[in-house]
Amino acid sequence: MTTAGHESMHHEPRELSLQRTDRAITVHYGAVTLLRYVFRPHDAPVESPRPYFHPLRTLDGDEVTIFRPHDHVWHKGLAFSLPNVGALNLWGGRTYVRGQGYTQLPNNGTMRHRAFDDGLSMQDDRVTLAERLDWLTQQGETWFTEHRDLLIALAPAQRAWVLRFGTRFVNVSGDTVVLGSPATQGRDDAGYGGLFWRGPRSFTGGDVYTPDGHGGDDLMGVRAPWLAFTGTHDGHGRRSTVVMVDAPDNPTHPTRWFVRSTPWAGVCPAPFFDTELPVAPGEAVSLRYAVVVADGDASVTDHDGARARAWAALGAAHLAAT
């Protein structure tokens, strides 16, 4: 039996399997549900409905996401979420307005799934899919079209698996749309927006690692090519780590990071943290990330982050692969 402070046991090789419904894709690793990708959510309009991943689990089956936490019901596991797309809110909830604070506006849009153009492909150790989406205003106007590429790849020798997330979105609104964050609207350190992960309640107070060291909330806004978050699970007391890696060809690489360890666990590579990006009509924005979900602590001894570096290298290798 595994106890707190001890590593989980290695398992015999298991097979990937796939399940698809009209609203979600679920990937299993043996008896473990690694992830569920909900591409047609049943969310209230005020929560800015958009595809999300929940649950995400380690190879050993430990869950590393939370869904609709009571403090921010628009936080959905892992999801590409943007609070300031011009006047459009694709994050959920209220919008931060300079001089007014957070205000509920009629601007909660939707990222709507259209099709999986190339279908789904599954091999022994990986799943790939390509998706088309439209970004709609609350009034039903299409402002952006998006092409999304996803790869799920196993790395059992490193007690991990990788989600590679790529997006390319094109402005079809006819006007220039400025991408930003609450920080660009005047709220200090609220630079969130992008591929946002919300961790379980038990991860509160967890450990954060970057290439330059170890910390927590003090790493808010740090610029780095990757960031890792290790938390402890209730019950058995095992530790799990989520590492997010910024692709070298992203516009603001190395990105600034939105990260919280308290009062809740959350991480987001935030390309518009403190700098707005005007997107002209017909112009495209491309972003790519790797998310490594791993069993174990990112540190070997004394918060050295040795495993974080190895898992980040794993994510970077998948970003470099064609």
Residue range 37-62, pLDDT digits in tens: 999 999 999 999 999 999 999 999 99
Confidence (pLDDT) at 307: 95
Averaged over 271-281, what is the pLDDT?
Answer: 97
- Torsion angle defined by CA atoms of residues 300, 306, 311 and 313, in that order, rounded to the nearest 10 degrees: -170
Cα 110 to Cα 88: distance, rounded to the nearest angstrom: 9
Tens of pLDDT along 68-104? 999 999 999 999 999 999 999 999 999 999 999 999 9
Task: Specify the residue for token string 């990986």.
Answer: 126
Tens of pLDDT along 148-194? 999 999 999 999 999 999 999 999 999 999 999 999 999 999 999 99
Confidence (pLDDT) at 8: 47
Is the pLDDT reported for residue 135 higher than 90?
A: yes
Residue extents of the structural domains in the chain: 17-320
Q: How many CB atoms lie within 10 A of CB 239?
A: 24
Confidence (pLDDT) at 12: 60
Is the pLDDT reported for residue 2 higher than 70?
A: no
Indicate the CATH number of 17-320 among 1.10.1660, 2.60.40, 1.10.3470, 2.70.98. Answer: 2.70.98
Q: What percent of the chain has pLDDT over 70?
A: 96
Is the pLDDT reported for residue 6 higher than 90?
A: no
Task: Specify the residue for token string 């992960």.
Answer: 197
Averaged over 260-282, what is the pLDDT?
Answer: 97
Cα 107 to Cα 259: distance, rounded to the nearest angstrom: 26
The 3-state secondary structure of the chain reads CCCCCCCCCCCCCCCEEEEECCCEEEEEECCEEEEEEECCCCCCHHHCCCCEEEEEECCCCCECCCECCCCCCCCECEEEEEEEECCEEECCCCEEECCCEEECCCCECEEEEEECCCCEEECCCEEEEEEEEEEECCCCCEEEEEEEEEEEEEEHHHCEEEEEEEEEEEECCCCCEEEECCHHHCCCCCCCCEEEEECCHHHCCCEEEECCEEECHHHCCCECCEEEEEEECCCCCCEEEEEEEECCCCCCCCCEEEEECCCCCEEEEECCCCCCEEECCCCEEEEEEEEEEEECCCCCCCCCCHHHHHHHHHHHHHHHCC
Averaged over 99-111, what is the pLDDT?
Answer: 96
Is the pLDDT reported for residue 5 higher than 70?
A: no
Please state, rounded to an integer, the average pLDDT across all residues of the chain: 94
